[in-house]
Structure 1
Amino acid sequence: STDKTLIVGGAGNGVLDVKNGGQVNSQDSIIAADLGSNGTASLDGAGSLWKSLGDMIVGQSGNGSLSLTNGAKVQTAGNTVLGAQKGSNGSVSVDNGTLSTDKTLIVGGAGNGALDIKNGGQVTSLDGIIGANQGANGSASVDGAGSLWETLGDMIVGQSGNASLVLANQSVAKVGGGTLRIANDSSSNAALYVGATSDKAADAKGAGSLEAKRVVFGQGQGLVQFNHNDQNYQFDAGFEGQGHVNHIAGQTVFNGDSSGFTGQLNVKGGELLLNNRMAGQVQVDQNASLHIGAFNGSQGEVLSDIGNDGQVVFDRNNQYQYDHVIYGSGSVEQRGTGSTVLTGENTYQGGTLISNGTLQLGAGANGGNSGSILGDVQIDAPGSLVFNRANDYRFDGALSGTGTLYKRGAGRTELSGDSSAFHGRSYVDSGILAVNGKLGGSTDVYDGATLAGNGQVGNVTLHKGATIAPGNSIGTLTLAGDLDQHNGSTFHAELLSTGANDRLLVNGAARLEDGSIIKADKLDSKRYELDRRYLVLATEKGLSGRYKLTGDTWVSTFYDVVDNYDSHNAYLDVQQTRLFQEAAFTPNQRATATAAQSLKGAAVPALTPPVHNKLFEAIAYLPDDHQARDAFDQLSGEFHNSTRSALVQDSRLVRDAANTRLRSATAAQARDTASDTHSGLTPWITTLGNWGEVKGDSNTANLRSDTKGFLTGVDTAVGDRGHVGVLTGYSRTELKSSSRDSSSDNDNIHLGVYGGTQVSGFDLRGGMAYTWSRIDAKRSVNFAGYSDHLKSKHDANTLQAFGELGRRFDLSPSVQLEPFANLAYVQVKSEGFKESGGPAALRAKHASDEQTFSTLGLRASADKQLDNGKLLTVFGSAGWKHALNGITPSNTYRFDGSDAFRIEGAAYSRNSAVVEAGVETRVTPELSLGAAYNGQLGSGASEHGLSLNASYRF
């Protein structure tokens, strides 16, 4: 015992051996004081004690060592320094002994210090510093169960020098101040080793424990290494600052908050389980595993990207959202029962295993426009994979396993890989799931969600409000199993006019519940092909039920898209649902429509649609009945019949001219007609100028006519009271029906004979005439989708015989009245013809019309002697004309390839008022000139004419 400093090896060599309960007391204590000295102190056994009231220095300038074994103790009231001065070496071995320092324990002050605590050795100090000054080297090892270094304050591993602390085999380092600092200054290079100091997993040993709140890396080169062989090793301190944390072997649980860590975490081997937050750079090497969450716990986060060449395991029991990126060649496992949400664009290549809980890609409505993985995913029950993105996403990997797949989020997720090895169940809850690869198992689609794609799925159940839409536009979706479509669900079938369409191929059976919907959606602007059949659903094991069809089903007023079925298939057919004649209103329209309908023949919807007659096709596409009726009117050919009405009407021009000439030439007008007293010939000529209209009705259109020409003849007296003559002439009639866009030019040549006499005071007049007409007709047919210009030339002839009976009464020498009765028979025959043009061209049969007209009326005339001595005659007449036979011409027509149909033309009037007014004057005894107006007015037709005539007697 000394109250001074006890020096063991001052300038030379010194040895202190305390045992068997021996005790040493000193003020200060130095082992190996001077440079080159060697000092050794050993304390052994229980009760053996060295008590220093001041500081204790082991290796002040020389080489000092202190050994405490078998319960021996060293107590220092001051600081304890191992390797105090530069070049010194100080080592302390606490082997089942006790070292206590009331102040700081420094391992490597400026020299080299080593502290070895083992076999239950105990070291306590106020603070602990390993490698205090620049250039110092300090090392401390705490090894074995019961071995302990405890500081009441903080502990620094590498303050300015180089340092290491090893915790192995259930030893404990307890930092009462809560902070273990590593490589505090920039000159320091320091490490904490948990387990072995080697960086080879084969050298792993049992781990010791660090009881501290935080491990703070300073400005130097700091390292914490875990290379142990323990399972469920708990490391409670969190990391702060910029250093390196390496995990070599063992299973370690990080419980501390490392959100302030800015260094590098390297998981080189073993399993590292994060039960709190981890920042910094994270790298997982091959054959290593990083767990986010520990043993299905509720904590564990990584606040940065993860370079993963090994395995990353999500092992939490609650929801965790990882917003960073996992990259590298490694794999990822979802192991916890909770839900992990990935929002980063992950690029790791090693595949994904979901053994439990849920792995979700994207945050759905909450900004879920990111979140992806690469490679294959194995989903084991009860695990689930959720696609929950708000935008479009393509997954190229393959799915397998017996777990569950969910499609959530408003976006479109495309599966392009071969997931036929997936045998679980898929639920499409929202958005679109487009399977362009293969997806095994069963798929349920719910309200508001859509199953699409060109690939293959298994069994599919469509619940109310769900949609199945094969293809990505037009495409085919194959079901390896059955299809069950419930009430209110929709098969969205996209179609192209050219025949391409969405299709479901069901290798099993399809069951359509009442109220199942199929929606036709034509994508292009072109019209549907008529009688096109779209195979939309084909099954191998049968089809039951029917669809409710909606969507783009309207084609025209005659065609619709309809759904048809057989025992295995469902079709959408562009099918005629109304016959043409159902749109017709008038008889002509109905007849024309029926004939046009016959152009279709027996055509039925087919996958390769029939080639239709162009005319049929054009009518079939008409959008409404109004346009259809207009088309039928244009196509009917009624104009040709109406032309015959005009021929019948115009027949009067010849007979009226003959009768007028006879009245001038008969004995009844002996005083006005020089030929009565001359037996020579009297030639005459009259012009023809006639215009009129045959009015149509609901069935036919108006017909306007305009005739110009002349007639000329010669007659002579026969006996005292008779006259006979012949006539000929030419006229050209222009006919036009504006509403039918039809017209014709008729060239007419007239021939006739006439005669008259007087019997018992009655004037008898009569004759016969023949007219040959060359009809050059043109029609234009223009309606939506069709235009045609039709021409025809054909002959017609008009034969007529007429007679008139009149009785003249002289009211005075210059005024006469003549009641009369007229009867005329007219026959018009037209030859058959064929129009030139397109499909609307008609082929007409020959036609014949016969009519008998009766006319009752009254004529009046008055003579006036002019001042120049010439005689002026003014005359006029009025009468009622009645047609005895049918007044509506008709004929049979056909389009090329159609059935025959009968069409009516515009009807002329059955009853008409006929009027005439004119003047005639004898210019010379031989030459007479005249002018007249004649008209015919009826409810169905009206005509007006002007004529000039001249005669010359010889």
Structure 2
Amino acid sequence: MAPSLLPVTVDEGAVEINGFQVSHPSDNAIVGTTSGKQASLVISNGGTLENLRGIVGDVAGSEGEVLVTGPNSAWNNIERLIVGNDGVGTLSIEKGAKVTSGPFSAVGWGAGSVGNATITGTGSHWSFDYAMDIGSGGKGTMTIADGGALSGDDLFVGYDTDGQGSLLLKDKGSSIDVNEFYVGFYGKADVKVENGAELKSALIRLATQAGSEGLLEVSGKGTVVTTGPILAGTSGKSDIIVRDGGALNTNSLRMGILAGSNSSVTISGSNAKLNADEIWFGNGKSTLDFHHNNELYEFSGKLISKHIDGNTWKDGITVGTHELHQSSGKTLLSGDNSLFQGKTYVEGGTLLIGNKLGGDVLVSGGGALGGSGAIGTTDALSTVTIASGGILAPGNLNGGLTINGDLIFAAGSSYQVNVDPKSNASDHVYVSGKASLNGGSVLHVGASGNYNPFSTYRILTVGNELTGAFNGVTSNFAFLTPELIYDYAKKTVDLKLSRNDMKFANKAMTANQRSLAGALDTLKADGNALYTALVTLGDDQATIQSSFDALSGEVHASAKSALIENTLLTQNAITNRLRSAFNEPVATPPIEPLGYGPERKQPTAFNSVVDKDRVAATYGGWAQAYGHWLKQDGNSNVGEFSASSGGFVAGIDNTIADSWRVGVLAGYGQTSFHSNDRASSGNSDNYTLGAYAGSQWAMSHGVLAFSSGIAYTWHQLETERSVAFNGFSDRLNADYDAGSLVAFGELGYKIAAGRSTFEPYANLTNVYHKTNGFNETGNTLAALNVDSDKTNTVFTTLGLRAATTLDLGNISPKARADIGWRHAYGDVDSESSARFTGSDIFTVGGTPVAKDVATLEAGLDFNLLPSTVLGVAYTGQFAKDVKQNGFNVKLAVSF
């Protein structure tokens, strides 16, 4: 049989139109004509079918299925297309296929029928003329996904009384474009638009006839429903839900139009948006519920109570039940809602009135009412009731709320007040009628800023009558006590803030904080911005402690320990130089002579261990560059502190009395330091002068070596620190001088063992450090006047040096190592004593000098030329909460 003559009625079995065209414009295509039988039709690979009418699942008990798949595959119905006439019908349009139908189409037509339609894949499309029912008299289901599309004139979901329609439109690129969209005409409808899909319509009607039910849910990021007017609940029950990123755009949403209807609109989840120029509340029951979790959701449309008289809508008259619910999240009503005459229930979250709102308001169950607009009008007075658990929080920071009508505070309610730290302005409520204070409490919530702790703030003004009182008032301030002042004659309530007897020191937790807070308690209150900022701190322990730490100037104490550590680098340089000068065999010295004078014979006492072919110089010059990085962990009392130092030391020395080497040195370095925990930093330029001497004596099994030195370092310091808390801020700077005197002596005993040598040693070092007094500069009274200070710290070190010569063919580098234990005595806890202008003195501690430290050095020295040595070394010091690392590269040339 020729393809064009292929029959289009399929009683049972399968028929496929695969890549060719079939045309019967005067005949109907019926798939599934016999009860108890299954029939299917597949149109694929560019095949097409044209017929007069299409029916899938014609009679009760029959099952029909049609699949139209692939690009250029098409089914053209000149007139109607029914999927599920009285039987079960299934239509699948996929992978870019097209289906068209003329006047009137249906999915689930007859009573008891079941119709299922799916449109999936980019380019897949069903276009219809005049009207389409999904769930006309039976059960109809349609799914449009993955870029599928439906377009036509009027679309009905749940048309007849027994009709049940379900429509799912999902995924980005999927769309519906119709003229009018009916969700529950006589029957029941469930429509969901989600996951980035788009629906466009000139008009949407939900629950049109009595007994009908319609649900429209819009959800997911990028999901958009755009329409002209929405008539929600003309006579039936309608629900609109916009949630989780979905958007519903309409110029007019009309709810609960006729008496007996019930309409609800809910905005839920996060980032959902209802864009409506106006919302009308009609003769039925209408509920608008903000049930989201946004930080701030703004609705700018107008809420209008209307009633319909015949075909005429009239404003401002309440016939039906009009309800506005605030269930969760924070919602700002910024439109003019003065014509709303229903009732507002604030049951959770916060409702802010940014413009006008008519009708009565009930706040309960932890809900909060705020804003700086007006509730009620002079023509239509409102009653605002703050029930138990409800909160009135006027303003959106220091604004006023007007109530044209009456205000009632019930027992268990709360009134939250913010006051302006820079003036006497505060959150305020004006009540034109009567204010009944039947208990409840006032909570003062302080915003960031320097409050005037001795001011009075007006929080309530009443036009008609003020009765009753609040049960009490509390504040979140740690150092201020609030008090309410009632003037029943003037019909006002004021809030007064006064200094309580809580001392700053009572809120301190650490030694530094207690010392500082004790000094702060001696400040005078009058005109002192620092004192004002402190007494208006909220009662939050962490905030109070961080404020004390910011003021302490701890960096000045911690800098001392860093500079004391820095002086030990000079001591190490002297020790290394003296070992080099005596041609020390333990290791190629870290410092090589830069030049020698006339040769002189080595003393006889050294001949047993010293290379006789190498002769010490009469005089010599030397230089060493150094660098290290120090990190000290913080604890509950002090913050973490880091420092880095770099510089050089150079000297000249001479041999006297045959066995003594005596010299002088000079050096320059810079130390940078910071404490992120205290927002502080600084640097020091260090200038050093010193002298040293040493000798060696041959013993029976080795050599006894002695080294000693003394050096003084001038420190020129600059510091900067930031103080910021509770609206108070300043940047404080200081320039001051300090000095460090280091003196040491060391004994070592060197023993040769083949190509290796070992030297146990003991070192005694004393560091005297003095800091001059200075004054910080800044713009506030947070600047410190710091006293001069002296410390004396003694270090003992016991250690072992070892070295060996490696045989690597043409080169013979020396590997060297030094390990020791250093202990500190005396003034190991760095402290700084200071005062604020007008306060007593206080002392704070900084990061201490480590008491017990493991010292480590490891390096390699290469003789590149007879007179040139390249050395690479690592140095480290490790203690509890302290890490210090250094990396040295040296190039020494002798001539």
TM range (shorter): 0.3 to 0.5
| Larger RCO, structure (CA 8 Å, separation 6 or more) | 2
Q: What TM-score do the two structures reach when normalised by structure 1? A: 0.43
**Structure with the greater alpha carbon radius of gyration:** 1
Question: What is the TM-score of this pair, normalised by structure 2?
Answer: 0.46
